[in-house]
Structure 1
Amino acid sequence: MNTFGKMILGSAFATLAMTTTALADTTLNALFMSQAAYSEDDIKSMTAKFEEANPGVTVALEFVPYEALHDKIIAAAGAGDDGYDVVLFDVIWPAEFATRGFLQDVTDRIPADYTDKVFDGAWTTVEYDGKRYGMPWILDTKYLFYNADMLAEAGISAPPKTWAELAEQAKQIKDKGIVEFPLVWSWSQSEAMICDFTTLTAANDGAFFDEGQPAFTAGGAKDAVSFMKATLDEGLSNPSSREYFEEDVRRVFSNGEAAFALNWTYMNALANDPKESKVAGKVKVAPAPGAEGKSTASSVNGSMGLGIPANSPHADEAWAYISFLTQKDVQDNYAKLSLPIWKASYSEPKVIEGQEDLIAAAKESIAVMYPRPLVPSYTEVSDILQKNIHQVLLGQASVDEALEAAADRVKRIR
């Protein structure tokens, strides 16, 4: 037996003062997603550094598409000791996972001084009912990416500040024949579409629920769906957006087939990489627009955290790994695809250099991150909204019909 907890894992990690005993050879099973935010290579590199500092511990990495992540975590909950020791989870899942007993409460493991050092929006990623079920790791929201050359060719001097202005600029670009469909989105019947819907709802001062009852049949939420449909009807949005995920959006924009795209942080580096993009050097980023008289910018909380499943037999070693991945120095060194959770990181030259536009946008966007409903039944609520909003985008239902149908169905599961 070796004393695992007495190993020093860097200055930030030493504060955890672990004093647990572990097996000489421990293998941690860790589940991550295979797209957006940190790349697989980034995670493998971070993990190798952790293993080097902790020769008694090996981490077996598994990467799955985001769409499979939720169900993988649930399926592993009944696997006993053969499940996962560390899992990446979305901001929309803590309520469900906590109430169903899938994640360990790690509130007492987190150093008290971390609370003020990490963005408030990041903490909401791992919190439910006053407790913390992991450490925030991916601090993310969707930004407005735009092709500066296309805007300049159309005589546009600055990116849009409101969604109405976005539509106007898109029409101007289309009318000049610069690109057939200036806008591209991830509007497949998936969580990706709900993130865009949430961003637009936030801009329009809308809400999902009011005193426990659906509130998305009117106001800002209705305005959001109406805007989405209008951009399709007017030929401003690529009609294939209704089938696209985030990587499709990146591909289309990087091929020079769109002037504007709403996407996560990771796209900034890849769209500006000549090996990955035909428009490298032309790409700029700004906060997602607001709505006149209602907001100056809009932002959805797309952050993710790292937690320990309740059935993990290696909780202390798992927490050591999580603590290593989430410490400031590690995040600062891998800040090109995912921005750090730490407030102090945003004044670090190695974080800022080469992505000045993104950092400027992040400072504004992080402050207004809007949550999707933090309810245990969120997965069902999202599925219902996905189905009904997608029918609007396909022209199979009116905005009112679809949102009323969604509200009726949500009332039955709440």
Structure 2
Amino acid sequence: MTFTYLLRYVDDPVATLRELARVLRPGGRLAALEFGIPRGPLYPLWLLHTRVGLPLLGRLFSARWSAVGAFLGPSIERFYRDHPQREIEGYWRDAGLCDVRSRHMSFGGAIVMTGTKGGVAEGPRAAEGSPRAGAWGYRRVERVSATPPSSGAAFYALRPGGWRDYWTLLHPPYTAWHLSYVVMGAAIAPYPDPRLVVGALLAFFLAVGIAAHSFDELQGRPLGTRIPSGILVVLGALALVGALALGLAATAIVGPAYLLFVVLGAALVLFYAFEVPLVHSDLGFALAWGGFPVLATAFAVGAAPVPSALVAFAASLVSLAQRRLSTPVRRIRRRAATVSGEIRYRDGAREPIEPRTIIASPEAALRLLWLAMVALAVGALLARWSGG
């Protein structure tokens, strides 16, 4: 059974999918085609296409077709704001469909989804007389699996809606962790200027904590927030402008050479927002969010080059470790449909593999590490200021 562009036009997508699954025979497959929203650098082009191109193209035929063209883009964004793709996949599973898969096509402008009605195997009918064949001749399949945790896209994520979305958007532990590198860079200097330290903290908070995270949330809603896209764009733009203004103010104090750090910092935010592979790789992430804030702040406060480079190298390694710990956790929380299997020990004991057991250890390490990094950085800076 197939359907196209259906769920955007019904009041209750969950009930609609349940009804579709109900009339599907056991073992039957359901497939759907829907518009998607491209991610990365193609997103601005998609906005231009849906907000300007389609209405103008429709205008060539009639005012009504122009209205249809103007309706489509906002309709798609509104649908995915209310029903993020990962939640839609959950709707399919809740309707009794298994092996749910999503395939992004046309550079992300379209999404094809498929699923199979659970309880029986696909394919030809089971041989007659088989003790496991059902009344319709299909062989039953027992599935041992666990559904990934539904506690949010991250351990710090709150329930979607209202002010809680803005808290989640900030990635508070990771933003604080990132700002600890700014403090470390300041602590390298014999007596860092408090004005420059506070300015650097505020600039990096605006650039990373707000701008980068706002732009990133536009790319498929990885955190599942319900903040309107327009507000995310405004938040990101204003925060980036504020960070640039603070960077220019620091340049007036430090000297024109600091302008290089200001420009590079703005570029890193935009590269991250549009998912440029250079920054979204493990190494790129480590250098951009670990090493760069150390070097930028150390240069501003006049720290010696060699200690600055060593601390930046250490910060990059710690940031890389953070990435290695958080990536598998994100995959399970945000993308996994089911997790199945077990661990068999040599003494014969067995332990089921469940989502929570997989993510428990790395998340516990991440919770401890961000607190440790913040405490270490603040302690080092206070020691400098106290003359210790």
TM-score after normalising by structure 2: 0.29
Structure with the higher fraction of residues in helix conformation = 2
The structure whose Rg is larger is 2
1 or 2, which has the higher strand percentage? 1
